[in-house]
Amino acid sequence: MEGRGAPASVGAVKKGLEAVGYLADEPAALVAYLAQRLGKPVLVEGPAGVGKTELAKAISRSSGRRLIRLQCYEGLDEAKALYEWNYRKQLLRIQSEGVAREGEAGGPPAGAWGDIFSEEFLLRRPLLEAIAADEPVVLLIDEIDKTDQEFEAMLLEVLSDFQISIPELGVIEARTHPIVVLTSNNSRELTEALKRRCLYLWLDYPSVEREMEIVRLHAPDIDERLARRLVEVVHMVRQLDLKKPPSIAESIDWARALILLGAGDLDRSVFERTMSIIVKHRSDMDLVAERVGVKLAGPLQAEAG
């Protein structure tokens, strides 16, 4: 099913993403294009911090669609993902009608509270909100690998038919076709059934040259030599066995911080003062200071892979 306002080419998608601050490589631009032309969900896997969530946000910005995000977590159930009833509001309605009829013979008539199961009392959660939206949206199902296989099975039904059955109201079908992006940090193997229904994209950390482009796009005032040195250091840090390697967003934050501090170079002193921007665990900081900090007296070109 071709989406409304679908892009004309992969190149157009790539330019559109770049215009909103996302430098997509060819595979990412291709998948984003096919998702909009074929109407198929996209499963984006890769390490944390490589830009999976940001890709969905960029597709939203470049296509002019509202972003609806379902943040997954362990124990996420259908009520929080699909819909639930506003029980407090329903109770207030029952109580108010009961007071209004107080003293009437025989009490309230049968079915007097039937309207408490209407749209007025329905709390739409992200999946229902995306399906019931009047305008095309981007549905981001973030970190799907944190849920269990039962949740995946429910999600497959929703994504296959783009409709949700509510016993009290009936079937709610999609008014428009959302662009669906699922992300996974690959913490567990997803089911083959889910993968079969999705276009697939693996995102990894970019090369030094590519990350320099990204950093300079978001921190244009940084000197090119300093940007290269910063990215080379980040790549060295990522090669260590850390609890949390630096993300691309943290590389950008570091570049902006160095600009604000007026740093003309990234020597050991500047590194030790600012390394907490990219290293977020105490044990990681000790390891990085020992393995990387001592190397910052000289050029890094020979060190970076």
In the chain, what are the domain boundaries?
10-82+126-202, 83-116, 208-292
* Per-residue pLDDT, 301: 47
Any idea which architecture 10-82+126-202 has in CATH? 3-Layer(aba) Sandwich (3.40)
Tokens of 179: 């662009």
CA angle 242, 247, 251 (to 5 degrees): 115
- The pLDDT of 75-100, averaged and rounded, is 85
CA separation for the pair 245, 111 (Å, rounded): 59
CA separation for the pair 279, 286 (Å, rounded): 10
Q: How sure is the predictor about 305, in pLDDT bands with cuts at 50, 70 and 90?
A: very low
Closest C-alpha to 242, from 215, 282, 207: 282
Dihedral sign of CA atoms 233, 238, 243, 249 in order: positive
Mean pLDDT lowest among 19-23, 164-168, 273-277: 164-168
* Per-residue pLDDT, 293: 82
At which residue do the structure tokens 């090119």 appear? 224
Per mean pLDDT, which of 92-101, 171-180, 229-238 is the most reliable?
A: 229-238
Dihedral sign of CA atoms 238, 244, 247, 253 in order: negative
- The pLDDT of 210-214, averaged and rounded, is 96
Bridging pattern class, strands 122-124 and 170-173: unpaired
Q: How sure is the predictor about 125, in pLDDT bands with cuts at 50, 70 and 90?
A: very high
Q: Return mean pLDDT, the chain.
A: 89
State pTM to two decimals: 0.85
Over residues 231-268, the pLDDT tens digits come to 999 999 999 999 999 999 999 999 999 999 999 889 99
* Per-residue pLDDT, 157: 82
Give the N- to C-terminal CA distance of the chain in Å, as an integer. Answer: 44
